[in-house]
């Protein structure tokens, strides 16, 4: 089994042929991110992924992170790998320059993060959390908090976590009970228990910065009374050196289906004198402040989905080219052939490949909008792209991750029986991927967020503006002479109509029957995801059709057109069914409650 290889050719296509890098280089602060620099970063990231992170993926799954009363010990080789990761500056790619970061565009950071996820998902959860912790403190922290914590986080010297979930509350963060008591010196003392805290404890860094949701004594009930606190494992001294151990302890780790090397911790805050915490922002504003980290994490989980899907695809493709079984259909030869010759295997590989390409292209589109929303000089343009980021984040989190589970499952299927055997590696990718539709809010939560907060809140104007952009691509394809491109255009046109029809139905029915909307929200998310993927594949095909072959053996650009045609035929065709389901498929759900009593 070979190690993971970063899909640099496809990334190059998105950055250069599709014009992504040129777009972000127009933004203030990103002018120096030229093609040579970005290509060098991606190539070095690919080498690090293949040579350092990928070899630890299967061994980490087997050895696992282990807990005892003194804390969590990571698998062999992991502390050394993180040290190399930090020394290479990989924890600081998109961080502010004033705190030691490289301040590269989110577009570049997203592609690099996909590479880490493809090489070793269980490890990459750690730097992802460090990055999200950086962002919250950089935006909402005091100057003193920024100076105290950001340089250590940006360097990768300290770790970070999100400590939200409690045993009784689950995703209902308004029900949390962790208590915060004001202290005369301006700090707070926290007490409570959090569960499912990824990298809540480990031996990769000398300190861990927990971002903890808690309720100050006397605060209102529900989400309106929640505040956000920085709670370090070890309290820093004023000079930045490490001081006393805080009252924060990992009391156990979860035994999980996958990502075994990533410690998922039960954390006790304040079992003794109380854990010292520093308020981030104002009291009772914790949900708003934490949602910055939550949304960043949701996009990051989408990148995890792309990375693990690519890893599963590479393994399945390699096996399909090596495994000799059966004779070729339609051939008179009795010679046994690699299973890649069988149409069903090629169909499954295409089903994997095309969705990965669609997700990768859409993730770049979202990242570009992040960069424009943060840096463009025109506030109207910034606002539009921020709306696009908010609209598409549930798709990256929900649709991408559901795809990943199916793609990694198909990877096992291509292997046949040996795919079910752990030694081949295919089963690990499936096990690891299964957490992704649950992380940071389940697919159902993402669907409700999409429908209620993104579509209904602005009466569908954002989604209709986006479909106008899609229509421009569809019309450009329709004007081509290549029959594949015209066919893609027809499919995209139909899928846009199906999406708009479903959107209009939701807008019409929501004022008087919210349950019907909720019953089909997940179907709406899938429909929207499929159409967004089709839009990106259509864009890719249009660009590829204008590119000459580099040589007679080069099939990359013709392959792009073929991938888009496959996606249109096999996935955009599903949008008619989903649209009908949304408009007429909710009653059986709502009337079937008694079936489960």
CATH number at residue 187: 2.40.110.20
Regarding whether 432 and 369 lie in a shared domain, the answer is: yes
Q: What is the Cα–Cα distance from 381 to 400, expressed in whole angstroms?
A: 27
What is the spatial distance between Cα 181 and Cα 283, in angstroms, rounded to a whole number? Answer: 12
- Please tell me whether residues 343 and 456 are part of one structural domain: yes
**Are 337 and 201 part of one and the same domain?**
no
Which residues 6+ apart lie within 8 Å of 318 measured at CB? Answer: 1, 2
Q: How far is CA 363 from the centre of its chain?
A: 9
The whole-number pLDDT of residue 553 equals 72
pLDDT greater than 70 at residue 332:
yes
pLDDT at 61 over 90: yes
Q: Are 458 and 563 in a shared domain?
A: yes
**In which band, very low, low, confident or very high, does the pLDDT at 1 lie, cut at 50, 70 and 90?**
low
* Pair (508, 578) in one structural domain: yes
263-320 pLDDT tens trace: 999 999 999 999 999 999 999 998 888 877 788 899 999 999 999 999 999 999 999 9
Token duo for residue 79: 């502390």
Alpha-carbon radius of gyration of the chain: 24
265 DSSP β-pair partners = 197, 253
CA distance 235 to 176: 25
Residues spanned by the domain of 245: 159-285
Q: Domain for residue 597, yes or no?
A: no
Q: State the Cα–Cα distance between residues 315 and 2, nearest whole angstrom.
A: 8
Q: Facing residues of 213 across strands?
A: 228
Does 3 fall in a domain?
A: no
Least confident stretch, 50-59, 350-359, 419-428, 547-556: 547-556
> Are residue 25 and residue 95 in the same domain, yes or no?
yes
CATH number at residue 142: 1.10.540.10
User: How far apart, in Å, are the Cα atoms of 162 and each of 109, 536, 581?
Assistant: 21, 32, 37
| Residue of 129, 140, 143, 162 lying closest to 99 (CA atoms) | 143
- Identify which of 559, 560, 562, 503 has the alpha carbon closest to the alpha carbon of residue 531: 503
For helices 426-433 and 55-63, give the axis angle rounded to 10 degrees: 70
* Cβ atoms of residues 556 and 9 within 8 Å: yes
Residue 593 has pLDDT above 80, yes or no: no
Residue 382 lies in a domain: yes
- Tell me which of 240, 266, 285 is where a domain ends: 285
Pair 436, 566 in one domain: yes
Mark which of 154, 185, 212 sits at the end of a domain: 154
* pLDDT mean over 444-452: 95
CATH number of the domain bearing residue 547: 1.20.140.10
Query: Last residue of some domain: 154, 175, 207?
Result: 154
Do the domain assignments include residue 596?
Answer: no
> Is residue 508 included in any domain, yes or no?
yes
Tell me, yes or no, whether 358 and 473 share the same domain.
yes
What integer best gives the mean pLDDT of the chain?
94
Note the pTM of the prediction, 2 decimals.
0.96
Q: What is the mean pLDDT of residues 45-49?
A: 97
Flag whether pLDDT at 587 surpasses 70: yes
Read off the pLDDT band of 589 (50, 70, 90).
confident
**Strand segments (E) across 18-169:** 66-68, 71-73, 158-163
7-13 mean pLDDT: 97
Q: Are residues 103 and 243 in the same domain?
A: no
The residue among 480, 498, 450 whose CA lies nearest residue 564 is: 480
Mean pLDDT computed over 408-437? 96
Q: Are 240 and 297 within one domain?
A: no
**Tokens (6 digits) for 303:** 């990148």
Token pair 């019953």 is found at 519
| Angstrom distances, CA of residue 283 to CA of 221, 248, 278, 477 | 13, 22, 11, 53
Q: Is residue 478 part of a domain?
A: yes
418-429 per-residue burial string, b: 16 or more CB within 10 A, e: under 16: ebeeeebbbbbb
Which pLDDT does position 293 carry in this prediction? 77
Q: Tokens 């394809």: give the residue.
A: 477
| Exposed / middle / buried, residue 384 (Cβ in 10 Å: 0-12, 13-18, 19+) | middle
- Euclidean distance between CA atoms 126 and 148, whole angstroms: 20
How far apart, in whole angstroms, are the C-alpha atoms of residue 548 and residue 559?
13
Express each pLDDT in 353-404 by its tens digit.
Answer: 999 999 999 999 999 999 999 999 999 999 999 999 999 999 999 999 999 9
In whole angstroms, give the CA distance from residue 588 to residue 584. Answer: 9
260 touches 64 (CB < 8 A): yes
Q: Is position 187 within any domain?
A: yes
> If we measure between CA atoms, which residue out of 495, 500, 476, 534 comes closest to residue 359?
534
Residues 508 and 545 in one domain: yes
258 within 8 A of 322, measured Cβ to Cβ: no
Residue 372 · residue 23 · CB < 8 Å: yes
Phi, psi of 266 (to 5 degrees): -95, 120
- Measure the CA–CA gap between 210 and 570, rounded to whole angstroms: 44
To the nearest 10 degrees (0 to 180), the angle between helices 121-140 and 106-119 is 150
CA distance 240 to 312: 43
Q: Is residue 2 part of a domain?
A: no
Asked if residue 170 has pLDDT above 70, the reply is no
From the candidates 114, 304, 390, 440, which is the catalytic residue?
A: 440
The model's confidence at residue 38, banded by pLDDT at 50, 70 and 90, is very high
> In the chain, what percentage of residues exceed pLDDT 70?
98
99-147 confidence digits (pLDDT tens): 888 889 999 999 999 999 999 999 999 999 999 999 999 989 999 999 9
Residue 547 confidence (pLDDT)? 85
pLDDT digits (tens, 9 = 90+) for 204-262: 999 999 999 999 999 999 889 999 999 999 999 988 889 999 999 999 999 999 999 99
pLDDT of residue 242: 94
Mean pLDDT is lowest, of 47-56, 169-178, 208-217, for 169-178
- Same domain, yes or no: 189 and 164: yes
Give the number of domains in the chain. Answer: 3
440: annotated active-site residue: yes
**Total residues found in the chain within this entry:** 597
Cα-Cα-Cα-Cα dihedral sign, residues 39, 44, 49, 55: positive
């Amino acid at each position: 089994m070979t190690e993971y290889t970063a899909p640099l050719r496809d990334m190059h296509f998105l950055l250069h042929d599709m014009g992504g890098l040129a777009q972000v280089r127009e933004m203030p602060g990103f002018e120096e991110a030229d093609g040579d620099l970005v290509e060098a970063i991606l190539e070095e990231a690919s080498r690090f992924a293949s040579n350092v992170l990928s070899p630890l993926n299967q061994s980490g799954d087997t050895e696992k992170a282990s807990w005892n009363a003194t804390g969590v010990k990571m698998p062999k080789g992991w502390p050394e790998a993180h040290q190399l990761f930090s020394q290479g500056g990989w924890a600081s790619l998109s961080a502010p320059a004033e705190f030691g970061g490289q301040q590269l565009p989110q577009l570049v950071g997203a592609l690099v993060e996909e590479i880490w996820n493809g090489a070793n998902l269980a490890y990459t959860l750690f730097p992802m959390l460090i990055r999200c912790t950086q962002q919250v403190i950089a935006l909402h922290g005091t100057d003193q908090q920024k100076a105290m914590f950001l340089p250590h986080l940006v360097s990768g010297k300290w770790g970070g976590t999100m400590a939200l979930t409690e045993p009784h509350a689950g995703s209902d963060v308004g029900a949390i009970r962790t208590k915060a008591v004001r202290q005369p010196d301006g700090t707070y003392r926290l007490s409570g228990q959090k569960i499912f805290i990824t990298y809540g404890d480990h031996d990769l860094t000398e300190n861990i910065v927990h971002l903890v949701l808690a309720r100050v004594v006397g605060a209102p009930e529900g989400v309106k009374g929640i505040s956000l606190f920085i709670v370090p494992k070890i309290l820093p001294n004023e000079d930045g050196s490490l001081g006393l151990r805080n009252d924060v302890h990992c009391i156990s780790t979860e035994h999980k289906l996958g990502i075994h090397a990533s410690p998922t911790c039960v954390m006790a805050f304040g079992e003794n004198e109380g854990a010292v915490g520093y308020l981030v922002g104002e009291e009772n504003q914790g949900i708003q402040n934490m949602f910055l980290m939550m949304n960043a994490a949701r996009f990051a989980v989408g990148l995890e989905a792309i990375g693990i899907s690519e890893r599963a695809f590479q393994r399945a493709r390699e096996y399909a080219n090596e495994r000799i079984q059966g004779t070729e259909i339609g051939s008179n030869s009795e010679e046994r052939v690699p299973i890649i010759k069988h149409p069903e295997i090629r169909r499954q590989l295409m089903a994997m490949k095309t969705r990965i390409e669609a997700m990768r292209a859409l993730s770049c589109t979202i990242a570009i909008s992040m960069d424009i929303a943060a840096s463009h000089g025109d506030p109207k343009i910034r606002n539009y792209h921020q709306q696009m980021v908010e609209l598409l984040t549930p798709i990256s989190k929900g649709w991408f991750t559901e795809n990943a589970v199916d793609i990694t499952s198909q990877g096992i299927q291509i292997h046949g029986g040996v795919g079910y055997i752990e030694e081949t590696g295919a089963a690990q990718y499936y096990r690891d991927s299964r957490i992704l539709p649950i992380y940071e809010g389940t697919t159902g939560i993402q669907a409700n967020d999409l429908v209620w907060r993104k579509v209904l809140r602005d009466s569908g104007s954002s989604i209709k503006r986006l479909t106008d952009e899609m229509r421009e691509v569809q019309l450009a394809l329709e004007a081509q002479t290549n029959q594949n491109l015209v066919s893609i255009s027809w499919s995209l046109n139909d899928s846009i109509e199906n999406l708009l029809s479903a959107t209009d139905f939701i807008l019409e029915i929501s004022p008087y029957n919210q349950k019907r909307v909720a019953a089909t929200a997940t179907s709406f998310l899938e429909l929207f995801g499929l159409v967004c993927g089709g839009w990106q594949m259509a864009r890719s095909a249009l660009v590829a059709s204008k590119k000459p072959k580099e040589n007679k053996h080069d099939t990359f650009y013709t392959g792009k057109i073929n991938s888009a045609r496959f996606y249109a035929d096999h996935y955009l065709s599903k949008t008619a069914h989903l649209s009908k389901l949304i408009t007429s498929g909710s009653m059986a759900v709502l009337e079937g409650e008694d079936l489960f009593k």
